[in-house]
Amino acid sequence: MRHKHSDYMQWSKTQSRARFNLATSGVASFSLGDLSVNWENLGINGDNSYGYAPLQQAIAAHHRVDPDCVVESAGTSMANHLAMAAILEPGDEVLIEHPTYGPILDVTRYLEANVKRFRRLEENGWAVDPAEVRRCVTPKTRLIVLTNLHNPTSVLTSESVLRELGDIARSIGALVLVDEVYLDAVYEDTPGTSFLLGPEFVVTSSLTKVYGVSGLRCGWILAQPDLAWKMRRLNDLYSATPVYPGELLSVAAFQHLDLLRQRARRIVEADRKLLRDFLKGESRLCAIETNWGTTSFPRLLNGNADSFLKRLRSDFDTSAVPGRFFEMPDHFRIGMGVNTGMFDEGLKRISRALASDS
Ligand SMILES: Cc1ncc(COP(=O)(O)O)c(C=O)c1O
């Protein structure tokens, strides 16, 4: 049977909630009122067969790329699916970072690709090591896949490493897919999209994680125009047209992007400060700390994260994401950026749960 599900997504939709919910990865949502939208100007139908031109232009301007390279999609989820489905044939070799965001693996399995992995090691600060990638590619590798920032750890991959990956891909006729949904959570000297580094790069992203407008499902792919066109044709199988009111609201979100980002930044930074103090005082956990991003991925020094998290939720009404969804069962993922009071209390409850364990 072909792989046709995502265990992580199902868990996230049905079992991740708690009063103190640290199982998030995106920032708090903003209300429509924050976008100063005039309801009179919203419409139901519009000229958007292959995307709404003002939205494509807004995405293109955000990344300084040609609008012909922009493919609208329903979130980064659909962007990843369309990108990989347009590039890969069944049996093609795809080289994916380990650990990674589970649904990326699920999609490649659904597409019946031959999935290989390259390791990002905790002892190496979860960095992408180009030598490891070079060791793992073969002449059959069609696609190299990574997230930047990395989900679950929020580690940033530098431009020089990305360029090396581009060189490796070029040498074997492969492409590099970079999921950049968290990249704008680098709040100072924000790197430009890796799409600008060369024609080997395909990028996916959305407004869902860093801007607090997840419900708009405003996602996109950046690809060379011929590949972008293949992706739009493929999307014809899934959707006749995008949701026009969603596109109008997404254009409004782009007009207020700095405001949305700055508001979220204040919460993320307050949470990060609490997280640093928490990790400093918590001898039962260790974690690679980052300056950016909305998630952290501590390791439980003693014991199994799954049973710990079950108890954390049932006895302390607090949730975090089990590391097994990232193939790292000793770890768990904590999310920042929603509500600092909730985050603070969630961390305190994690400490109490850890103390009652030992
Ligand atoms: C790396 C990564 N890519 C894609 C997604 C899905 O994003 P979207 O909500 O834009 O579909 C997530 C969600 O957690 C993610 O972590």
CA 179 to ligand 1 center in whole angstroms: 8
pTM exceeds cut of 0.85: yes
340-357 and 257-281 helices, crossing angle to 10° = 20
Question: At CA 303, angle to CA 297 and CA 308, rounded to 5?
Answer: 70
The answer on pLDDT for 358 being more than 80 is: no
CA 315 to ligand 1 center in whole angstroms: 29
DSSP letter for each residue of 41-86: G--S--S-TT--HHHHHHHHHHHT--GGGEEEEEHHHHHHHHHHHH
Ligand 1 atom with the smallest distance to the CA of 25 is 14
CA 181 to ligand 1 center in whole angstroms: 6
- Which residues 6+ apart lie within 8 Å of 266 measured at CB? none
CA 26 to ligand 1 center in whole angstroms: 9
CA 77 to ligand 1 center in whole angstroms: 6
The answer on pLDDT for 19 being more than 90 is: yes
Q: How confident is the model over 234-269, as pLDDT tens digits?
A: 999 999 999 999 999 999 999 999 999 999 999 999
pLDDT score at 205: 98
CA 91 to ligand 1 center in whole angstroms: 25
**C-alpha–C-alpha distance, residues 6 and 277, integer Å:** 34
Select from 72, 101, 107, 156 the residue to mutate for testing ligand 1; criterion: most ligand atoms less than 8 Å from CB: 101
**C-alpha–C-alpha distance, residues 118 and 152, integer Å:** 16
Ligand 1 atom with the smallest distance to the CA of 206 is 10
Mean pLDDT of 298-317: 94
Percent of the chain with pLDDT over 70: 100
Whose CA is closest to 347, among 25, 20, 18? 20
pLDDT score at 350: 98
Select from 16, 76, 155 the residue to mutate for testing ligand 1; criterion: most ligand atoms less than 8 Å from CB: 76
What's the farthest any 2 CA atoms get from each other in the chain?
61
CA 93 to ligand 1 center in whole angstroms: 23
Mean pLDDT of 179-192: 98
Ligand 1 atom with the smallest distance to the CA of 217 is 10
CA 96 to ligand 1 center in whole angstroms: 16
The answer on pLDDT for 52 being more than 70 is: yes
**Amino acid (1-letter code) at residue 5:** H
CA 281 to ligand 1 center in whole angstroms: 31
Select from 181, 211, 216 the residue to mutate for testing ligand 1; criterion: most ligand atoms less than 8 Å from CB: 181
Residue nearest to atom 14 of ligand 1 (CA): 25
Contact indicator for 27, 337 with CB cutoff of 8 Å: yes
Whose CA is closest to 232, among 86, 104, 111, 84? 86
With a Cβ cut-off of 6 Å, ligand 1 is lined by 25, 75-77, 101, 147, 151, 179, 181, 206, 208, 214, 219
Q: What is the token pair recorded at 8?
A: 């992580």
Could you check whether the bond before residue 165 is cis, i.e. omega within 30 degrees of 0?
no
pLDDT score at 9: 97
**C-alpha–C-alpha distance, residues 70 and 224, integer Å:** 9
What mean pLDDT value characterizes the chain? Answer: 97
Whose CA is closest to 111, among 221, 239, 2? 2
| Dihedral angle sign, alpha carbons of residues 58, 61, 65, 67 | positive
Instruction: Tell me how far CA of residue 321 lies from CA of 16, 107, 132, in angstroms.
Output: 7, 20, 27
Select from 151, 202, 336 the residue to mutate for testing ligand 1; criterion: most ligand atoms less than 8 Å from CB: 151
pLDDT score at 40: 86
